[in-house]
Chain A
Amino acid sequence: NAGVTQTPKFQVLKTGQSMTLQCAQDMNHNSMYWYRQDPGMGLRLIYYSASEGTTDKGEVPNGYNVSRLNKREFSLRLESAAPSQTSVYFCASGTSLNTEAFFGQGTRLTVV
């Protein structure tokens, strides 16, 4: 049971570098999400996708872009990384937007 798979698990970037975080789910879910987790701030929604071909901004979208490549995959791109983007990033999926979400194991990103 793979569930939600995120790659990579760890990454160190230099300020200004770009990278893409990959996420794939095998549960045939329509909805997918990207959250970031920071100490004392819980999980904050970056972007979400209600279905293939649609994406919407969440609470903290600045500095990020997303692509819903197909029903299974939802990627998050940092075009020019900043130290403020140092965080743990979680991808999640669910059957619809306001029902329970299933989470990946997270990507720990450090921007130096």
Chain B
Amino acid sequence: AQSVTQLGSHVSVSEGALVLLRCNYSSSVPPYLFWYVQYPNQGLQLLLKYTTGATLVKGINGFEAEFKKSETSFHLTKPSAHMSDAAEYFCAVSDTDKLIFGTGTRLQVFP
């Protein structure tokens, strides 16, 4: 079965600093990979996804992620954090018949 590991349950950055949220997956075949964002008291919203093709994927709100098969990673980055980026972020991987989510990383952005 697939699994996904998010390193760091909490990440804090200053406004304007680089955001890096880590995600590693276990898979013997190239999976579909997703990043979701959850703002307080809301549902999850898709940020970006990798299915096939270009390994650098751009999403909404200036986020991007790179699929690295050799490292089984799909880290999420944003060059310059904004206060509005404060939220919880979930990495997810496709299994044969469902999506498997990581435990989430809460991003705090300080002024």
Contact = CB atoms under 8 A, between A and B. Distances in A.
Interface of A: 4, 33, 35, 40-45, 48, 50, 56, 58, 90, 92, 94, 97-106
- Which size bracket describes the interface of B in this complex? 20 to 34
Interface string B35-60: 01000011111100100000000000
Given A42-B101, A98-B95, A104 B49 contact: no
Contacts of B80: none
A35 B46 CA distance: 16
Contacts of A33: 98-99
B95 to A, nearest CB: 6
B52 to A, nearest CB: 12
Interface of B: 9, 32, 34, 36, 41-46, 49, 90, 94-104
Contacts of B104: 42
